[in-house]
Amino acid sequence: MKEHILRKLVGRNIHWFIAIVLFAIPFFWLKPGEMDLGGDSGRLYFYDPVSFIRNVSIYHQVPEGLAPADPNTYYLSYVSFIAVLLFIFRSSTIVISIISGAKLSIGFLAVHGIVKTLCNGQKAGKVGELAAIMAGVFYILAPTMIGNYDKALTSHNQVFLNPLMFYLLLKFITKSDPLYLLAGLGISFVFAPNFALTSAPPFFAFYPLAIGYVLLYTKIVLKNKLPWGWMFTGAVLYLGIHAFHLVPQILNLFEPGSFTNTRVFDRSSIAHEGVRYFLAVLPLANVTSRILMVPAISWLWWSGIFAPLVFVIGLMSAKKDKTLLLTAGFYLLTLYLYSAKITDIGVAIYKKLFYIPGFSMFRNLIGQWPSVYTFYFALLLGLSIFAVLRKMKFRLWMIMVSVAVSILWIIGASSFLKGEPVNKFHAQSNNIPMTFAMDPRYEEALMFVRSLPDDGKILTLPLTDAYYQVLSGASGGAYIGTSTISQLTGKKDFNGYQLFGTFSEDFMKYSRENDMSKITELLSTLSIRYIFHNSDPKIYEAGFPQSPYTYMKTSFPKSQTEYMQFISSLEAKQIYQNGPYAIYELDSSVRRPLVYTANASGSIINREPEISIIKSDPVTYHISASGLSEKSGVLVFHDAYNSNWALTINGSPVSRDRHFMIDGYANAWKLLQDDQNGEKRYTMVLRLRSQNRVWFGWSITVLSLVLLGIVMVRRIVYHIL
Amino acid sequence: MIAHIKKTLAVVGKWVHENQGVFVGFFGCLISAEVYIFPKSADIRLFSGLALYWILSRIGRLSSIRVLQLSLILFSIMSVSFLFSGTGVQTERIAVWFILFLAFGIVTQWRETVS
């Protein structure tokens, strides 16, 4: 009788039913036409993936502000996948919902599959099924997993990728079936941003431990041989497939002075940004709240007791269960990494770890470890439930308790399930929703920006504290995220404090002093030609009295009316107006072009003869200029200095020792009359050499993908036959 | 002298072995006292406590179940403390004791499993 009820309760396909329900939930979060974009990653590829690919993910340069040479090529495969989805479904809202649904349903299914696999060695049966379902439900609804759906970083796909890749790795090694490995490699290519250097913290937090767990499980628990041959093949294919972003990024990592190089290797940077940051966040890392996983609803705190209680009871009742012990060991290790405050020695050891190159990526331990901790928490929970249930006589009673606990977790996550993560207001705003629909007038303005000449950068006002742009949506919400002008039009845009580099404080000072001539000079130094002003009060004083303008308001206009006066004080004329969106062009007498010639010291700009520039792509410019009237001069190029920028004059490369930094950030080359080589004009090509790394990486990737395809087809044929 | 120490240890070991429940309860009380009497946590007390338990459990031939029972007691105290004072200092300290004994229990059980 009990077995019959058990079978009814835990049917064969119930996990598929739960997965479908979970997949459907995010489709109720957004209204048709709305999007929840923004944040540090912006996620503008959900809105216009093709422009995003063209402007962000092909070239070895950031299309913003000073335009440093930094590769973002890891986006390409993922954004192409989004483009395909958008082509099929024709709605950004649907595509966003599909990705959110995948996080929930695949995350659940993968954890379910792992627990089931780990229990299967012990003839899991229906009890194993129940334990696996509970572990899966817990994983996706845990308080640590439901918090970052708003303004999600690209690496947030780890919610489902971590357990999915673990599952495939576990199946590959335990069953010695390379198809799982090959499938994992294919998935890793599509979701490449999660395997790129930009996602280094979540990647290195999860994968070394996951590989360690699977290897130990195979060797110690199952006592099976490891498929070394396929593991080596997999590692080689992995590096090959990801060469398109790994090659440029790794070479960039070893380039002295680059942002990543400083972050990883510079000892003073480690001390400043690693240990100090770690010590600043340490008081927030409570051990108790990690053990109990206290839900957001405070009165439900006691539901957190269940899981740790089951851990201990499970360990007590399942003697000689190596799988459970191994999982418990990994749980404790991740608990330590997530909280650090396990004894004073524990904190001291953690501080020492920052001297391992790269470990400073974990300085924000409360942000980097939760998903890994939750993953092992869920596995341990599933295995503990299994250990307890299989020892109990009254299984039905225990099942009822388990279902009741699951319901408590669902209640604890009810606001999440109702869509609160995306349907909330921007912090410190006057109740401005995060979800928005793109304003058609802004879309027209973007079209106009695209048509502007490439020679000149854009200043977007009002200026924000970081590198954000604020946009009011047609439905009343607002977008706060990376520059839509840079990422969707390819025009280099200055919209916030951080994008001005070393000029930020000067700009603020000149504004405070109302010194418009100095401001004009600064804009000229930065080659800013256009000013884009969004005069909508809802995106400034009316909607956002503080963040993201708090710091900038200490120096810049405090209202849109004042901003209009600010612009009128500059020598600029309006060239476009559409609703609140206006574009001004600075007078040619006060602005400097992107590329120009000057006298030998660079102090006097040669207005005559004029030079013409053709931008082939963001990293290649063809320049044509008349000969120098004097014996020598300089060619100035106003993108961030990088030794990889190379100049060729009339077919001959200019030696590196004639390349130097000018204006505190830009590139300049010493020109000699001899360079003319008897010609009347200079014909010059300006090219970023490090772009070759991208093409080299891509050639390896294409080759590896072909190889992966061949191996996969052969394995499938082998399976069928 | 050595014979006397051996004899004393044998007596203590026998008592611990015959009164395992009492021993575990007593140790739980001892840890609670440490948490609520001393205002600050100190590693020396934490690791001395662990070492003392390890020595007594060795001479008393206690299994991993007992240390897991002790961690269960500590978890209960931690939960009650959380109810009354949230993630206060005492709750955090008892949580650390709980984690250390849970880790000790896992290691002990692993050794029992392997042997």
Q: What is the mean pLDDT of residues A42-47?
A: 94
- Give the tens place of pLDDT for each residue, A405-421: 888 999 999 999 998 88
Q: Do A329 and B71 make contact, defined as CB atoms within 8 angstroms?
A: no
Q: Is A302 on the interface with B (CB under 8 A)?
A: yes
Gap from B49 CA to chain A (nearest CA, Å): 13
Chain A to chain B Cβ contacts (< 8 Å): 81
From B69, B96, B105, residue closest to A343, measured CB to CB: B96
- Give the tens place of pLDDT for each residue, A242-281: 999 999 988 888 877 676 776 667 666 666 677 888 888 8
B interface with A, Cβ–Cβ < 8 A, is 41-43, 46-47, 64-65, 68-69, 71-72, 75, 78-79, 82-83, 87, 91-92, 95-96, 98-100, 102-103, 105-106, 109-110, 112-113
Half-sphere exposure of residue A129, counting CA atoms within 13 Å on the CB side? 14
Whether residues A539 and A628 fall in one domain:
no
Beta-strand runs (E) in A424-477: 457-464, 469-472
- Closest chain B residue to the Cα of A347, Cα to Cα: B43
Q: Is A335 on the interface with B (CB under 8 A)?
A: yes
A264-293 residues touching B, CB cutoff 8 A: 286-289, 291-292
Gyration radius from chain B CA atoms: 15
Whether residues A492 and A550 fall in one domain:
yes
pLDDT at site B2: 81
How large a percentage of chain A has pLDDT more than 70? Answer: 93
Give φ, ψ of A527 to 5 degrees: 60, 35
Q: Which domain holds residue A135?
A: 2-33+91-417
Q: Is A345 on the interface with B (CB under 8 A)?
A: yes
Gap from A441 CA to chain B (nearest CA, Å): 51
Q: Do B79 and A305 make contact, defined as CB atoms within 8 angstroms?
A: yes
Q: What is the mean pLDDT of residues A221-237?
A: 93
From B72, B87, B110, residue closest to A325, measured CB to CB: B110
In angstroms, how far is the first alpha carbon of chain B from the final one? 34
Contact residues, chain A, for B83 at CB < 8 Å: 301-302
Gap from B4 CA to chain A (nearest CA, Å): 36
Gap from A435 CA to chain B (nearest CA, Å): 34
What pairs with residue A278 in β-bridges? none
What total number of domains does chain A contain? 3
Beta-strand runs (E) in A627-719: 632-640, 645-649, 652-653, 659-662, 666-672, 681-688
Pairing of strands A620-626, A612-617: antiparallel
Q: Do A342 and B99 make contact, defined as CB atoms within 8 angstroms?
A: yes
User: What is the secondary structure of A598-634 as a DSSP string?
Assistant: E-TTS-SB--SS--EEEEEETTEEEEEEEPPSSSEEE
From A288, A313, A343, residue closest to B82, measured CB to CB: A288
- Name the average pLDDT for chain A: 90
Residue A650 to residues A624, A655, A683, A691: CA-CA distances in angstroms?
10, 14, 5, 21
pLDDT at site A601: 73
Q: Are A383 and A377 in contact (CB under 8 A)?
A: no
Residue A521 to residues A368, A438, A465: CA-CA distances in angstroms?
43, 35, 22
**DSSP secondary-structure letter at A425?**
B
Taking phi over 0 as left and psi of -120 to 50 as alpha, with beta for the rest, A65 belongs to left
d(CA A107, CA A144): 14
Q: Is A320 on the interface with B (CB under 8 A)?
A: yes
Contact residues, chain A, for B41 at CB < 8 Å: 343-344
From A301, A305, A344, residue closest to B43, measured CB to CB: A344
Residue A14 buriedness (CB in 10 A; 0-12 / 13-18 / 19+): middle
Closest residue by Cα to residue A324 from A226, A404, A213:
A213
Indicate if the alpha-carbon torsion angle A514, A518, A522, A524 is positive or negative: positive
Whether residues A390 and A328 fall in one domain:
yes
Whether residue A1 is predicted with pLDDT greater than 60 in this model: the reply is no
d(CA A202, CA A374): 13
Closest residue by Cα to residue B78 from A302, A598, A377:
A302
Whether residues A472 and A399 fall in one domain:
no
- Closest chain B residue to the Cα of A324, Cα to Cα: B106
Evaluate whether residue A97 is within a structural domain: yes
d(CA A464, CA A498): 9
Whether residue A2 is predicted with pLDDT greater than 60 in this model: the reply is no
Whether residues A409 and A309 fall in one domain:
yes
Residue type, A528: I
Identify the residue with better confidence: B101 or A626. Answer: B101
- Closest chain A residue to the Cα of B106, Cα to Cα: A325
Gap from A434 CA to chain B (nearest CA, Å): 32
Evaluate whether residue A426 is within a structural domain: no
Beta-strand runs (E) in A119-259: none
Given the structure tokens 């000018």, which residue do they identify? A662
Residue A543 to residues A329, A465, A546, A698, B30: CA-CA distances in angstroms?
50, 16, 9, 45, 57
pLDDT at site A604: 73
pLDDT at site A612: 84
Six-digit token string for B37: 């009497």
Q: Do B43 and A322 make contact, defined as CB atoms within 8 angstroms?
A: no
SS3 B32: helix
Evaluate whether residue A75 is within a structural domain: no
- Give the tens place of pLDDT for each residue, B27-79: 999 999 999 999 888 899 999 999 999 999 999 889 899 999 999 999 999 99
Whether residue A308 is predicted with pLDDT greater than 90 in this model: the reply is yes
Evaluate whether residue A129 is within a structural domain: yes
Q: A6: Cβ–Cβ under 8 A, 6 or more apart, which residues?
A: A126, A395, A396, A399
- Give the tens place of pLDDT for each residue, A651-694: 889 999 999 999 999 999 998 877 766 677 778 899 999 999 99
- Closest chain B residue to the Cα of A323, Cα to Cα: B110
- Name the maximum alpha-carbon separation found in chain B: 50
Residue A568 to residues A562, A574, A581: CA-CA distances in angstroms?
10, 10, 15
Q: What is the mean pLDDT of residues A107-132?
A: 86
Q: Do A291 and B95 make contact, defined as CB atoms within 8 angstroms?
A: yes
Contact residues, chain A, for B75 at CB < 8 Å: 308-309, 312
From A287, A315, A343, residue closest to B43, measured CB to CB: A343
Contact residues, chain A, for B67 at CB < 8 Å: none
Confidence of residue B13 (pLDDT cuts 50, 70, 90): confident
SS3 A144: coil
Given the structure tokens 């129940």, which residue do they identify? A130
Q: A567: Cβ–Cβ under 8 A, 6 or more apart, which residues?
A: A461, A531, A533, A584
Gap from A337 CA to chain B (nearest CA, Å): 13
Indicate the range of A121-125, A538-542, B95-99 predicted with least confidence. A121-125
Whether residue A284 is predicted with pLDDT greater than 70 in this model: the reply is yes
From B43, B71, B110, residue closest to A312, measured CB to CB: B71
Q: Do A332 and B106 make contact, defined as CB atoms within 8 angstroms?
A: yes
Q: What is the mean pLDDT of residues A716-721?
A: 84
Residue A44 to residues A59, A64, A84, A438, A487: CA-CA distances in angstroms?
17, 15, 15, 11, 8
Q: A324: Cβ–Cβ under 8 A, 6 or more apart, which residues?
A: A314, A315, A318, A380, A383, A384, A387
Whether residues A546 and A606 fall in one domain:
no
pLDDT at site A203: 95
Whether residues A468 and A335 fall in one domain:
no
Indicate the range of A153-157, A585-589, A608-612 predicted with least confidence. A608-612
Q: Is A695 on the interface with B (CB under 8 A)?
A: no
Q: Do A332 and B112 make contact, defined as CB atoms within 8 angstroms?
A: no
| Interface mutation target, options A290, A315, A320, A347, chain B, most CBs of B under 10 Å | A315
d(CA A255, CA A229): 34
Gyration radius from chain A CA atoms: 29
Whether residues A272 and A129 fall in one domain:
yes
Whether residue A707 is predicted with pLDDT greater than 80 in this model: the reply is yes
> What interface predicted TM-score (ipTM) does this complex get?
0.94
Evaluate whether residue A520 is within a structural domain: yes
Given the structure tokens 């459990």, which residue do they identify? B57
Gap from B21 CA to chain A (nearest CA, Å): 15
| Interface mutation target, options A288, A289, A321, A347, chain B, most CBs of B under 10 Å | A288
Gap from B14 CA to chain A (nearest CA, Å): 23
Q: Do A288 and B71 make contact, defined as CB atoms within 8 angstroms?
A: no
d(CA A647, CA A654): 6
- Closest chain B residue to the Cα of A307, Cα to Cα: B75
| Interface mutation target, options A287, A310, A313, A391, chain B, most CBs of B under 10 Å | A287
Residue type, B99: I
Whether residue A3 is predicted with pLDDT greater than 90 in this model: the reply is no
Q: Do B102 and A332 make contact, defined as CB atoms within 8 angstroms?
A: yes
d(CA B109, CA A312): 12
Evaluate whether residue A250 is within a structural domain: yes
Domain boundaries, chain B: 2-114
Whether residues A196 and A262 fall in one domain:
yes
Q: Do B109 and A319 make contact, defined as CB atoms within 8 angstroms?
A: yes
Helix, strand, coil shares, percent, chain B, to 5: 85, 0, 15
Evaluate whether residue A709 is within a structural domain: no
Whether residues A265 and A401 fall in one domain:
yes
Whether residues A527 and A487 fall in one domain:
yes
Q: What is the mean pLDDT of residues A153-160?
A: 92
